[in-house]
């Protein structure tokens, strides 16, 4: 998929610059046309001649060094690229881009770019977690930039944690997937999909609530992939720290009751409902407007059932395709099949949340997808984004079988 594609690789400063050299080599081997921009800091780690030899193209690092007098270099590069990748993306470069600063060749080019931009951060774990950097990352998300999350491991500074630049092989794989999606087009065009995601919070008093460990990553991945496949997506989400996907209508809720009301409100117009949210099964019978003070004795809080949203949708559905999730700790397949019957589901995605690499707040998942006839597909550990792609392929096939596409 990368053969003939025009890739603009933007390299900012950091020890991970050597990985950018490896990435350049791998991209050229796929047949991609690679041009490289370097910051002054990046050149302190690797000489531009290295990237020139690997890419077989001139390397750009000076905004005022116009190699072709017929064009303005930073504008020409911005217009030329099919995809722009910043790898490694330093804290400094991320912060400049988020604030519209154009003080070098890299940032000037990015400010003029209209192509899809990917950002692959690499920095110390504490730098990555700093509120300023996380705010700037969220800003770039809102601009439409896509992030290649750094991996965890031993860092050059001696720390162990999140901050390692993703491996070149993985970045190339993601690029292949991206251009493959571009080739596929919009198979779910005009399909209205509701996705629920994240946890709910059930209030006790102004400072306490009951919730669960759901991060919303799976639901957000489904919403993102569905949107890229052309679907009209409504994401109904509990509290998360994840930026909303682009081109998705996002509705923020807090309680199970609020999620139920929003799903019901949009259900009639939906073609597909994918309910991946971890909704509270119980809520306190009584809530308090002032903070409950600590007592010398034990406390008991009486709980009542919340509405079973998936069960209600199963009763209401007419032509809608209904997809549920089963997060279990034991008897996975038994419970999943029971849910298909009792809740009138068309598909269920089951996973054991105690398995390593699966479950809440992980970037990966290990799931089994089961249909109404109890046919099942067991998937190995993979990214939640890839799980979303396979799930939506199943949804597409069911819609085609029913003549809805």
Give residue 147's domain range: 6-182
Give the model's pLDDT for residue 141. 84
Residue 24 lies in a domain: yes
Say yes or no: 101 and 250 in one domain. Answer: no
Into how many domains does the chain fold?
A: 2
CA distances from residue 345 to 109, 392, 393 in whole angstroms, order as listed: 49, 15, 17
Give the model's pLDDT for residue 328. 85
Of 363, 28, 19, residue with least CA distance to 168? 19
Mean pLDDT, the chain, as a whole number?
Answer: 92
Say yes or no: 189 and 174 in one domain. Answer: no
Banded pLDDT at 360 (limits 50, 70, 90): confident
Say yes or no: 325 and 379 in one domain. Answer: yes
Asked whether the predicted pLDDT for residue 156 surpasses 60, the reply is no
Q: What are phi and psi of 80, to 5 degrees?
A: -75, -35
Say yes or no: 388 and 248 in one domain. Answer: yes
User: Annotated binding residue at 389?
Assistant: no
Of 336, 366, 195, residue with least CA distance to 275? 195
Say yes or no: 176 and 305 in one domain. Answer: no
For residues 12-17, average pLDDT: 93
Give the model's pLDDT for residue 161. 59
Using a 10 angstrom Cβ sphere, with 0-12 exposed, 13-18 middle and 19 or more buried, the burial of residue 378 is exposed
Say yes or no: 112 and 254 in one domain. Answer: no
Say yes or no: 214 and 174 in one domain. Answer: no
Give the model's pLDDT for residue 150. 83
For residues 352-364, average pLDDT: 81
Say yes or no: 236 and 330 in one domain. Answer: yes
CATH number of the domain at 57, please: 3.40.50.1950
Say yes or no: 165 and 246 in one domain. Answer: no
User: Annotated binding residue at 315?
Assistant: no
Give dist(CA 168, CA 87) in Å, integer: 9
User: Annotated binding residue at 267?
Assistant: no
Q: Which residue has the higher pLDDT, 69 or 317?
A: 317
Residue % of the chain over a pLDDT of 90: 73
CATH number of the domain at 219, please: 3.40.50.10300
User: Annotated binding residue at 247?
Assistant: no
Taking a C-beta distance cutoff of 8 angstroms, is the pair 395, 324 a contact?
no
Model's pTM, two decimal places? Answer: 0.66
Question: Where is the domain boundary, 163, 182, 201?
Answer: 182
Q: What are phi and psi of 208, to 5 degrees?
A: -130, 150
Q: Which residue has the higher pLDDT, 242 or 99?
A: 99
Say yes or no: 276 and 360 in one domain. Answer: yes
Residue 1 lies in a domain: no
User: Annotated binding residue at 343?
Assistant: yes
Say yes or no: 141 and 190 in one domain. Answer: no
Torsion of CA 273, 230, 27, 58, to 10 degrees: -140
Q: Which residues are catalytic?
A: 157
Give the model's pLDDT for residue 216. 94
Of 350, 357, 356, 352, residue with least CA distance to 383? 357
pLDDT in tens, 210-266: 999 999 999 999 999 999 899 999 999 999 988 888 789 999 999 999 999 999 999
List, as own/partner pairs, every contact residues 165-169 make where C-beta atoms lie below 8 angstroms and the sequence separation is at least 24, other chains included.
Answer: 165/14, 165/16, 165/19, 165/20, 165/87, 165/88, 165/120, 165/121, 165/122, 166/87, 166/120, 167/19, 168/19, 168/22, 168/23, 168/26, 169/26
């Amino acid at each position: 998929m990368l053969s003939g594609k025009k890739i603009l690789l933007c390299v900012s400063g950091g020890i991970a610059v050597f990985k950018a050299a490896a990435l350049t080599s791998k991209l050229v081997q796929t047949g991609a046309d690679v041009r490289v921009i370097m910051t002054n800091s990046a050149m302190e780690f690797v000489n531009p001649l290295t990237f020139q030899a690997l890419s077989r193209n001139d390397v750009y690092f000076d905004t005022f060094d116009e190699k072709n007098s017929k064009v303005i270099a930073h504008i020409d590069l911005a217009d030329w690229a099919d995809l722009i990748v910043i790898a490694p993306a330093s804290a400094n470069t991320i912060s400049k881009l988020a604030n519209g600063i154009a003080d070098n060749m890299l940032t000037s080019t990015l400010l003029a770019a209209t192509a899809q931009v990917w950002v692959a951060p690499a920095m110390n774990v504490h730098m990555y977690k700093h509120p300023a950097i996380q705010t700037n990352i969220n800003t770039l998300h809102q601009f439409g930039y896509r992030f290649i999350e750094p991996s965890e491991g031993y860092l050059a500074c001696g720390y162990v944690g999140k901050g390692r630049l993703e491996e070149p092989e993985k970045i190339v794989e993601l690029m292949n997937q991206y251009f493959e999606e571009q080739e596929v087009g919009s198979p779910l065009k005009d399909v209205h999909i509701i996705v629920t995601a994240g946890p709910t919070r059930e209030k006790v008093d102004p400072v306490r609530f009951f919730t669960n460990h759901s991060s919303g990553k799976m639901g957000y991945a489904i919403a993102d992939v569905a949107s890229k496949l052309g679907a009209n997506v409504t994401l109904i989400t509990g509290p998360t720290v994840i930026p909303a996907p682009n081109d998705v209508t996002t509705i923020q809720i807090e309680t199970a009751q609020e999620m139920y009301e929003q799903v019901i409100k949009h259900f009639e117009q939906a073609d597909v409902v994918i309910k991946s949210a971890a909704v509270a099964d119980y809520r306190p019978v009584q809530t308090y407007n002032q903070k409950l003070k600590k007592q010398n004795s034990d406390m008991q809080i009486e709980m009542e059932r919340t509405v079973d949203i998936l069960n209600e949708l199963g009763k209401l559905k007419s032509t809608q395709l209904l997809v549920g999730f089963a997060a279990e700790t034991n008897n996975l397949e038994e419970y999943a099949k029971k849910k298909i019957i009792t809740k009138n589901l068309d598909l269920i995605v089951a996973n054991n949340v105690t398995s390593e690499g699966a479950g809440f707040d992980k970037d990966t998942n290990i799931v089994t997808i089961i249909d109404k006839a109890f046919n099942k597909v067991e998937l190995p550990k993979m990214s939640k984004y890839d799980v979303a792609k396979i799930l939506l392929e199943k949804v597409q096939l069911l819609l085609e079988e029913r003549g809805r596409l």
